[in-house]
Structure 1
Amino acid sequence: MIRVRCGSVGSLTDVMIPHVPELVAPRAEAVVDLDAVRHNVGLLSGTAARSGAATMVVVKADGYGHGAVDVGRAALSSGATWLGVATLEEATALRAGGITAPVLSWLHVPDEDFDPAVGAGVDLSVSSREHLAAVLAAGRRTGRTVRLHLKADTGLGRNGAPPAEWAGLVDDAATAVASGAAEIVAVWSHLAQADEPSHPMQDVQAAALDAAWRHVRERGFTPLRHLANSAATMTRPDLHLDLVRPGIAVYGLDPIAQPSASPLRPAMTLRARVALVKTVPAGHGVSYGHEWTSTAPTRLALVPAGYADGVPRRLNDAGRMRVRIGEEIRPVVGRVCMDQVVVDCGDVDVRTGDTVELFGTGEGGGPTAREWADELGTIHYEVVTGMRGRIRRTVRGTGTGAGANNNGAGTPAGHVGGGRW
């Protein structure tokens, strides 16, 4: 509540009114453009459809930091028919958000509580006989037939049953199907080097998955096959199979660096408001250690976002971090601090409250998540999933449209042809 004094002089009255944080412009926010998500999903699902494949949009890690329920709703209204997540909690959160479309969850510890996910009709990936037994036990407790995606390790070396254990897993799954306890929905795997479209490992893995799938077919089942991630969806139509699983591309970030402009539209912009502007003389040091010192009088802008919020401390180690203020691109100077960075504005007219774009679409030469990743020696996946702390997530765009009725009512938005395209 906020106390406000109302009335005329001599007759002031204290009135308590609700404080609504959403009505106050945030000091720093990650703005998510759901119309960009819809655009990207439309491109990806259209590409898959030309190969006869359906599309599962991956919304793990809270939609790569963009908001899983909001992104899921947008994706399902734009051509996707499935959603994919890692954990059981991520899957049940989608159900709690009103999404009723098929959801696959694939990363579990066998002693987890599978009951809520099985009860919510979530498809579950299994990679071992022990894993399968735990899932089937949840089916018995809940009285539900479990929907299985059998995962084969075709060369990535992470999750999935290795070839030596595949027959045993299939035997147990077949027994469960015969008893009415399970349905084998799909056989699947994940690519190790999809960001190199011509790498021979892709064909090795595709052949291994085909062998695993044929083994299941020989038992009388007709499961779906899925293998392609974002990169393979965009570059290898021969690997689309029955279902593709784009992730990072959904959010407008190209999984493969390319010289030409990408048709994808980045969906996240990180921005903050200037907290303070001041002029300093030549020879004035900035931030801890005075690693930067002004060489002439200049205007400095204080931006309230730091490493506690997802702006990595080492991002400006080489002094190359830049931001966009209005139409101007200006350098960050000095060390990134826990709560703030300082921008050298030169003689640019910057005022308190002005918006500073730390990364976004790249429009007007502005900084991008890929630039951050390149500077940090990492990938842009890590950048967009790293927003945290006091960064408010704000959702823009409708995120819904024709076909949105296949994913339920949901919760309000705004909680904190082949070849290269």
Structure 2
Amino acid sequence: MSETGNTEYKQREQLPYRTYAQVNLQQLLENTKKVKALLKPQTKLLSVLKADGYGHGAVQVARTIEDESDWFAVASFYEAKELREHGITKPILVFGFLDDSHVEEAVQRDITCSALSYEYAMHLAHLCEQKKLRLSMHIKLDTGFHRLGIDCDENRLQEAYEEVRQLYETEALHITGIYTHFSTAGSKVAQDEAFLKRQYQLFCEILQCLKEDQIDPGIRHCCNSKATLTNPEMHLDMVRVGLYLYGLGSDADIEYLKLKPIVNWKARIYAIREVAQGEGIGYSRTFITPKPMRIGVVSLGFADGYARCLYASNKVYVLVHGKKTRILGKICMDVMMIDLTDIPEAVVNDTVTVLGCDGEQHISANLLGKETGGTAVEITCGMGKRVKRVYENEEGSC
């Protein structure tokens, strides 16, 4: 049976948290400047902060890049409200729905909402008329994503324009922009490239109708992060960038833009066990020790956002003293076990890196995302509230 092993403890150096994410704000700023270098001087940058700044902390992110950003965007009224409560003054666009009960406060806090359908926008207009308010709004057009926005299918394009025109003419709505969202940006598949161009064409047809009717469209925007890189001819008045600010994206894009991730996710060794050959580790005994092994119990589990399925991957590893080592057995709610057999210098309270850098070694969000069947952004957005965000201003982040 297993016995308690190395009882040597390392004094905590500075950070007492069981698990924490070190966010490098200087690298965030550098990434943002590299994105801006892709733009013409007159093109505005909308920095996307939804999902708490893709898991990095929206308020701190906004404060760091406010001078480099013309607009911010979030998914919900509550996210926008949080930014305003913390002193963020740049324009904020809410991508999602605005509940009736929040209309008045949205006006008071100068929050811009999205017209996600004609009926929804007119409903908000009627509420504003009753309260003698004027709500700032960007009109969203559905040019083929089929998620949200006024339907601009080719068979109803004229009807769509009539709805758009009526919104511009509605006194209770202050329409300051119009946008769409691409579904295949960056794809090299010929069919996808053609679809992107068709989406852009439909968007431009609506813009042309506005021009012919001498209606100022406000800020025109359609490029997400990927399209900002691959389709500069579609930048128009503003681009919407999220992933690249945080050093996320495809490996090729990160390399091309010279971006760097801004987060290192770490935990600590709670305990060390000496386990005999033939013993099972964790729930269901999915790992049986092939020899006597030194096991570390780490202060991180699936309740912190580290996906349980990662234990089954033969490509995933963690870092201890700059050395790669594997996860043993199923990840528990609050802890997981790792192999310390070949890292004899490891002691209790040592740091374990599960995302980011330790010495010359690096664990990418792309790797973890792929091994969970998802993407890099799902990893950073998934870091739970028990993961303390620690903000640093250091150059040379991994």
What are the Cα deviations for residues 243-265 of structure 1, in whole angstroms up to 9, with x where unaligned? Answer: 00001111110146569575111
**For 2:120, which of 131, 148, 155 is the aligned residue?**
131
Residue matched to 1:384 = 380
Instruction: Give the equivalent residue in structure 2 for 1:395.
Output: 391
8 Å Cα contact 2:304-2:334 kept in structure 1: yes
Matched AA of 1:118:
V
Alpha-carbon RMSD: 2.3
Conserved in 1, the CA contact under 8 Å of 2:224 and 2:239? yes
Quote the Cα distance in structure 1 between the aligned partners of 2:386 and 2:357.
Answer: 22
Query: Gaps spanning 5+ residues in structure 1: where?
Result: 1-22, 400-421
Q: Residues 285, 385 of structure 1: CA spacing in aligned structure 2 closer, same or farther, 3 A cutoff?
A: same
- Deviation (angstroms), 1:388: 1.1
The code of the aligned residue for 1:383 comes to I
Structure 2 residue 245 is matched with structure 1 residue 250: yes
Give the alignment's TM-score, normalised by structure 2. 0.87
Show structure 1 runs of 4+ deviating over 6 A.
none
Alignment partners' CA distance in 2, 1:346 and 1:277: 10
Name stretches of at least 5 consecutive residues in structure 2 with no aligned partner: 1-13
Q: Which moved more, 1:254-263 or 1:362-371?
A: 254-263
Residues 58 and 84, structure 1, Cα contact 8 Å, conserved in 2: yes
Q: Secondary structure at the match of 2:348?
A: coil
**Which of 40, 43, 52 is equivalent to 1:62?**
52
What is the match of residue 26 of structure 1?
A: 17
- Work out whether residues 288 and 334 of structure 1, in 8 Å CA contact, stay in contact via their aligned partners in 2: yes
After superposition, the Cα gap between the structure-2 partners of 1:138 and 1:256, relative to the gap in structure 1 and judged at 3 Å, is farther
1:140 Cα deviation from its structure 2 partner: 4.0
Aligned to 2:36: 45
CA distance in 2, matches of 1:321, 1:265: 20
Match of 2:70 in 1: 81
2:261 is the alignment partner of 1:266? yes
Normalising by the residue count of structure 1, what TM-score does the alignment of the two structures yield? 0.82
Distance in 2 between residues matched to 1:246 and 1:122, nearest whole Å? 19
| 1:172 matches 2:166 | yes
Specify which of 333, 351, 356 is matched with residue 355 of structure 1: 351
Provide the residue aligned with 1:19 in structure 2.
Answer: none
Partner of 2:22: helix, strand, or coil? strand
Partner Cα distance (1:362, 1:207) in 2: 47
Q: Secondary structure at the match of 1:225?
A: strand
**CA 1:289/1:43 → structure 2, altered by over 3 Å: closer, same or farther?**
same
2:143 equivalent among 151, 154, 157: 154
> d(CA) in 2 for partners of 1:306 and 1:262?
33
Other-structure match for 1:204? 198
2:323–2:361 Cα contact (<8 Å) kept: no
CA distance in 1, matches of 2:320, 2:308: 21
SS at 1:113 equivalent: helix
* C-alpha contact 2:74 2:95 (8 A) present in aligned 1: yes
Mean CA deviation greater in 103-112 or 287-296: 103-112
- Whether the aligned pair in 2 keeps the contact of 1:119 and 1:142 (CA below 8 Å) is no
Look up the equivalent residue of 2:362 and give its one-letter code.
G
Letter in 1 for 2:377: Y
| Deviation (angstroms), 1:148 | 2.1
Q: Which amino acid aligns with 1:254?
A: G
Is 1:214 the counterpart of 2:204? The answer is: no
Shift of 1:228: 0.6
Residue correspondences, number: 372
Q: Is the 8 A contact 1:149 1:186 kept in 2?
A: yes
Deviation at 1:290, TM superposition (A): 1.8
- CA distance in structure 2 between the partners assigned to 1:301 and 1:159 by the alignment: 48
Q: 1:88 to 1:219 in 2, by over 3 A?
A: farther
Aligned pair partner of 1:119 in 98, 108, 112: 108
Q: CA deviation at 1:221?
A: 2.0
Distance 1:318 1:286, change over 3 A: same
Quick check: 1:129–1:172 contact (8 Å CA) kept in 2?
no
Residue type at the aligned position of 2:302: Y
Would the alpha carbon gap of residues 253 and 152 (structure 1) be closer, same or farther in structure 2, given more than 3 Å must change? same
